[in-house]
Amino acid sequence: MTKITRTSALTARHLDLGGNLQEYIRMGVPLTYNTDPKKEHDAIREAAGMYDFTAFLKFRVSGPEAADALNHAVTFDVTAIKPGHSKYGPFLRETGVICDDGIVFNLGDNQWLACHGDGCARNMVELSAEGRDCLVEYDYWTHLISLQGPKALDLLNKHASDDISALDYFTHLNETELFGCKVMISRTGFSGERGYEIMVGPDKAVIIWDSILKHGKDMGILPCAVESVFPLRMEAGLLWRRFDLMENTPWEVNMGWVVDSNKADFRGKEALMAAKGKERFKLVGLEVDIQEALQGGEKVFADGKEVGKVNDKPVWTHRMKKSLALGQVKPELKAVGTKLEIQREEGMCTATVVKFPVYDVKTR
């Protein structure tokens, strides 16, 4: 079992909320609070919800050739990211498969920040930095508080020193003040709603957390634990490294949109280009004809033949009253509307390939 070796400055707040702390990326994170995860889900869709995502790893790259090092480690063109902007995408192995994903932020003046999961992103950038005039440093200090939902902007704008409404998707303010604390605010998130991620030092994280809850109480804003993330991200068709991406090519998981095949050489490019059109499977969205969530890992069949599997962390979404999952199927079965069968312990059930996201973001 992986030991907890990292601590969030917000741990006491999580325990006060009845947090069931579980290890994630060597940090104790609240899987649930005393509140019903469905109410947290509702808050994010109707008002706003706040997460402590400090567990996600961060590192900084600085120096004259920092952009070159990052550019070699990702599939997209880092040199095209303007200061104050960011971009999401995968980090590859030499074999052309994904080992991590994350967001790269251009802080200006040859300063960059990368936020990622529990994969090899930093190691890949460190390798790419060898022989280049730049420095890669692990950021163990920065805390990440995520406020997601339609009322997030209203709350933040009332208490920020800058106009948060001016931020477009994947842009950020390097330094602004929120509730009197110096923070970085980015218009990013993992919910399918308009949301913001606040990066702040551990000495001010509690102030930001408490202030959002104090001023957001009458707006219906709630603190949220990890369990409520799963249906949110499934409704929005957002991929999770551990469950959907690892050791797969971008072509297989529908991430060709973030591969810049015209840019200079990057790690795994030759293998990745050779793999195009030779996908072992395609990632698809599934709507399952049951009134609960699948377990994950079930075998998928078509015409009596095994053709794939269900990815981990499928969900039942109470708001849409649907059993949803992501799965891997043979490429010829990827078309929306394809009928499949899934083998459960209780017996076979049917499923249909559907277009993700299933949550209509136009209604936000």
Sequence ranges of the binding site: 197
* Per-residue tokens: 57: 């790893």
Quote the longest CA-to-CA distance of the chain.
63
Cα angle 26, 28, 34 (rounded to 5 degrees) comes to: 155
Q: Cα(247)–Cα(252) distance, rounded to whole angstroms?
A: 10
* Helix ranges restricted to H, the chain: 11-16, 37-46, 66-73, 121-129, 152-159, 202-216, 229-235, 269-275
Give strand ranges (E) for the chain: 21-24, 27-30, 49-52, 57-62, 86-92, 98-108, 111-116, 135-138, 143-148, 172-178, 181-186, 195-200, 222-223, 282-288, 299-302, 305-310, 315-317, 322-329, 339-344, 347-354
Report CA Rg, the chain.
Answer: 21
Answer yes or no: are the C-beta atoms of 206 and 10 closer than 8 Å: yes
* Per-residue tokens: 281: 């499977």
Q: Phi/psi at 284 (nearest 5 deg)?
A: -135, 155
Residue 207 CB-density burial (10 A; 0-12 exposed, 13-18 middle, 19+ buried): middle
What DSSP string runs through 180-207?
TEEEEEES--SSSS-EEEEEE-HHHHHH
Q: Which residues are annotated as a binding site for substrate?
A: 197
Q: Cα(338)–Cα(55) distance, rounded to whole angstroms?
A: 38
Answer yes or no: are the C-beta atoms of 171 and 187 closer than 8 Å: yes
Q: How far is CA 312 from CA 56, 114, 183, 234, 238, in A?
A: 19, 26, 35, 11, 13
